[in-house]
Amino acid sequence: MLDEKTLQQVASELNLSETAYVAPLAEGKASWQECDRFSLRWFTPTNEVPLCGHATLATSHVLLHCLGNSNTRLKFETKSGTLVARRDDHCIILDFPANPPETLTPAEETQLSELVKVASGGLLVSQVLISRTTRKLLVRLHPSCTRQQLEALQLDTGDLLRQHDGSLVKGVILTLGAEDNGDPQPTAECHCYSRYYAPWNGIPEDPVTGSAHTVLGPYWAEQLGCTVLKCKQVSPRGGDVTVTVRNDGRVDLAGESTTVLQGHITLSG
């Protein structure tokens, strides 16, 4: 594995939401095709993060579909513990820790009030919670808001940085229930919508965010009284995540993946 400075420099140069670094962990010399246990780290353009969903999905996809790994389950040793990815017929399922949000303290409400105003973009807010394990703020928009309004939001993420120094919050989730806004889609097809901003990690807006769904899944499961949720992240690129909230403090995140680019990086001294 390369040193941390080089890992960060490469991630900064690629300038994607997260860059994943993976390496086999096995006794002897098991090949990439045979190994079922790997180390995994994630770097944003500015820093290392403890959990990332879509980069884990991408890593699993590369191992299983590009490198021909023969296993049905892959284990990743990470800063968030052991994460498991398993093959399914049409997708990859990630076994992640659940990170349910909690009520803000009065001091936190005061500290974050201006941030909430900026993050909501002028839309009405019905509830604000925080996931302390992931340092993500969950802002539920009022039922009078629509999916179209959430999609149309154009936030100045520089304003988010000006309103909070990142000491308490590293990311903001905006969410809206599908039924809240009278969406014509049946609940069985979509339960909630979201967008996610993390400028404190060098990510103005993340297109699809697995770690945010470890917060959204437990929240909406409790709100709606169901354990399997179909979630849609409505960023300009967008994406769908199916979240199964388990009774052991973990969630299964299911998503599809496609190879769009392959290549090599040359590092010069």
For residue 222, indicate whether it is catalytic: no
SS3 87: strand
**Run of H or E including 74:** strand 73-78
Burial 255-269 (b: 16+ CB within 10 A, else e): bebeeeeeeeeeeee
Maximum separation of any 2 CA atoms in the chain, in Å: 60
**With the C-alpha atoms ordered 76, 78, 140, 58, is the resulting torsion angle positive or negative?**
negative
Alpha helices in 92-179 (DSSP H): 106-119, 147-152, 157-163
C-alpha span between 189 and 234 (Å, rounded):
15
Half-sphere exposure (CA, 13 Å, Cβ side) for 174?
33
Alpha helices in 104-255 (DSSP H): 106-119, 147-152, 157-163, 210-224
C-alpha span between 238 and 89 (Å, rounded):
22
C-alpha span between 13 and 186 (Å, rounded):
42
Report strand pairing: 81-87 vs 239-245. unpaired
Q: Which of 4, 13, 18, 179 is catalytic?
A: 18
Phi, psi of 51, deg, nearest 5: -155, 135
Instruction: Give the residue numbers marked as catalytic.
Output: 18
